[in-house]
Structure formats: structure tokens, C-alpha cells
Amino acid sequence: MGTPSIRTNVAPLMRPTHPAATKLACVMVGLPARGKTYVARKIARYLAWLGHHSRIFNVGNYRRSAVGAVQTHDFFDPTHPENAARRKEVADRALADMLLWFDKAGDAPVTGAVMTKDSPMTPIGSRGRSDSLSLSGAGKAGPGWVAVYDATNSTADRREGIYRKCLEHGVQVMFVESVCDNNDIILANIKEVKISSPDYVGMDPEKAVEDFSRRISHYAKNYETLTPAECNDEIPFVKVINVGDQVIVNKVKGYLQSRIVYFLMNLNITPKSFFFTRHGESMFNVAGKIGGDADLSPRGQDFAKRLPDLLKDNLGEETKLTVWTSTLKRTMQTAAYLSWPQLQWKQLDELDSGVCDQLTYEEIEEKFPSDFTERDQDKFNYRYHGGESYRDLVQRLEPVIMELERHHEADHAILIVGHQAVLRAIYAYFLNYSLDELPYVKIPLHTVVKLTPKAYGCREDRFAVDVPAVDTHRCMPHPALDAKNK
């Protein structure tokens, strides 16, 4: 695809007076089948993973709740005043809920994370669907509040109304438009997203494509692309053209808006899969010690020798592979029998356990009893003396996540040979685990995980290698997640 060209008209960066109270409405714009919902979910997931409160208000879900999922293309015809009024009513209801959420922002917890039963990115088929999708990852550093208003918002008048209402509630606004004139991409989006969406459950695929294509034509009649002249020349927006071929930025200001721009410049919707596995069992795993730079155990070596055949069986004949490892011996020894190109990332090194490095948990409890208890009470934020917390680890791994999102070769997979804490953080990003859940995700030894991001979730496949290994998982003090991991 190449490096995107960038046109900018960027206002000077402004530091908010009260960063902990920053509220931002990220308003999606675009015709159907341009990837808006996918982008909306990814933005919300990314910001929540970094520790900000985020929530999606999807107007399509509000519509399905109000009038039912089965609506033919005629419902979206702008020449039908009654249907147009009903669509505006549900869009206004979603907007009102979003503003109410912002008004109640101060009621949220200061630390930890809160998630509804349905979240911006969910394993396919594993969670229900609701009108608004919420994930909050609050933190001591002062989280932002970001609502993603997911709708077509296809006219300048409609966008002006949203902009003014948000300002009345003290909410910053940023528009994100997905523009696409590549028919191959549009048709692929229709087949991939809309046939599996709630609007077309049980419908013949060919009829679904025909109906949705006609729905798009209805929206196109009155569609107006974003321009800098909107909202009295004050409109902040990002326009992503043809899935990242070009990115146009206008009057973006502040930390949160800048992070979203950075993320969108790295995001693409090319179909792809990632593999990851922990290193083979190490001598420290056998001894129950954490950290260090130990060699593989004999069973870990056995796993490393069997890994190439497992990958060949599940890659496909035409798929290339690049292997990423940390700089620690146990990951490089695990990858030693792999014939594919390899890269070492310092960012993929295991969480630094500081003064507790090379100790067993029993030794930690004996030497540092108060720290041992404190970590169990808030494992995500607890920082080892002289080491790191899981929150620190997430910040360290952001370049790795960006590289995975940037990857756009459908026939070129990536295998990460990593460590338990590192893979927990990466897995939580793609599978939408809250920050409270992240440190307790179960990533067993001698198992390869394949993740395939989709528009409405992330497909997961696991391949266990028949080589015994110790279980290094420590259960969460809360029984609910412990049961979820089993």
C-alpha cells in the first residue's frame, strides 16, 4: 500500500487546564460499508487499553432496538418523510444518551476498569449486543472520557447540530470520516461485514448484498463529505481515504485527538491473522521463579522442536511468516528451529519484576509481605520496586500494537514468541479484556494462539502441542474471572 500521503491544517496543540476531565466526542462520518463501525470499535478499544474511559454509541443498534433489525432498503430512502423522521429520532436518542454519559462522567471509579457485557471488540459469538458498547480503563494518571458516536452523519447540517450540542455540554468534538471509492474494497466490506451483521441474519447472501447496495445508494443521494468550512471554519476532523492511502487532518488539537490521529494513520482493514505463543517451559518455570533469563527446560526444548511442524500445518502454503521474539534467551531458544526470518524486540521482554526478580512467589511473600498483598489488591497498577507494573508494560507495548495494526500484507503472518505478561497485554487488546482482567488472562505454556480480527469481533483459534509443562497461572482473587479462564 505504501506510505500514506498527509495533508495537514493543524491548530496549535493546546494543553487542557484539567486533563483528568477531558471529554471528547469522536463522531464517525461516512457511507455504509466504509469501515466506520470497525474503526469506531478499534478507536474505543485502543483508548481503553491505554487507560481512558471509552464508550460507543452505535445508532444502528438503537434503530434495531426501536424498529427491529429486519428493515429493507426502503426504510433508508430519504424521500420517505415518515421513515426519515424515525431514523432521526433514534439518532437523537443515541446522542442524548451520549451527552448524559458525559454529564455523569464524575460518577465513574477513579481506578480499575469497568466493562458492560458487550464491548468495543469481543470474541465472535461470545457476548450479547447492546445499544451502546462500553469499556473504561481508568487510571491514576488522569483518564480522558471518549464517546464514539457511530452513525453515517451524512450531511453538514446534521454534523453542525451534533457539534453545537456537544459544545453546550462542555464536550470537545472530533469528526472521523472514512472515504472509499475503491469498488473492490466496498464490495469486500459488504460481504464481510453486512452479511454477518444483525440486519441480514438468515437472509440469502445475494439478496443481502443487493439490498444493502440499494441502501448505500439512498444514503449517497444526500451525502456531503467533510470540509474545513463547516461549523464556522472551526471543525476538527480526520479524513481517512481508501483505508489509509491518504489521511487529511484539520484543526486537531489536544492530547486525545492527537492520539486518535496517530492510531488512524497506522490502522488498516486488510484481512490478516497473528500467531503468538509463550516460550517453551524454562528452568525458572520449573523452579517456580519469576523473571530472570533462564534457559529452556528439556520439555521446553521438545516444544521448540515441534513448533515448526505445527506452524506449517496451520499457515497455508502461500503464507509468509516473520517471527518476533524478545531479547531474552528463552524466547530465542524457542524460535531456534524456525526457518522463517526473525526479529528481536526489546519491547517484548517480560515485565521487569525489579527486586523480586528470580524469586519464587513464596519468597516474595516472605520478604515483601505488604507488597505481595498490595499486588493482589490491584495487580494492574502495582509496580515492583525497581521494576514495572502492568500499566507500564502496556505503555511499553504500544509500538508493538501499532506495528501489528499497520501490518497490511494478507499473505504474510506474524508469530510472536513472547512471555506471559506481555502476551496477556497483547491478547487483552485484541480480545477486549478490561484492565482489571488483563493481568489474569490465562496464557498456557506450549500452546499457539491464532487471532483473526474481524469487523464485529476477533476470532480465536488455539493449538496445543502435546508436551507437558508446569502451570504458571495464578488465579484472580475474584472468582468470576477465574471461572471465565477455565
**C-alpha dist (Å) from residue 422 to 324, 357, 448:** 13, 16, 15
Catalytic option among 53, 218, 279, 419 = 279
Residues in the chain: 486
Nearest to 321 by CA among 305, 334, 333, 335: 335
Beta bridge partners of 136: 53, 114
Q: Write down the catalytic residue from 89, 210, 362, 366.
A: 366
At residue 249, φ and ψ (nearest 5 deg) are -120, 130
User: What CA–CA distance (Å, rounded) separates 359 from 471?
Assistant: 17
390-406 and 420-431 are packed helices; what angle lies between their axes, rounded to 10 degrees?
Answer: 60
- At a CB cut-off of 8 Å and minimum separation 6, what does 260 contact? 26, 43, 47, 174, 176, 238
18 is catalytic: no
76 is in an annotated binding site: no
Measured between alpha carbons, how far is 254 from 260 in angstroms, rounded to an integer?
A: 10
CA pair distance 90, 153, nearest whole angstrom: 13
Residues 38, 132 contacting (CB under 8 angstroms): no
- Residue 447 main-chain phi, psi, to 5 deg: -135, 135
The grid coordinates of residue 166 equal 456537544
Active site residue 366: yes
Q: Is 282 labelled as part of a ligand binding site? A: yes
Residue 375, amino acid: R
- Does 279 carry a binding-site annotation? yes
* β pairing state of 145-150 and 53-58: parallel
User: Does 278 appear as a known binding residue?
Assistant: yes
212 is an annotated ligand-binding site residue: no
Q: What cell numbers appear for 343 in the block?
A: 526479529
| Binding residue numbers | 278-285, 330
| Binding residue numbers for substrate | 278-285, 330
Catalytic residues: 279, 366
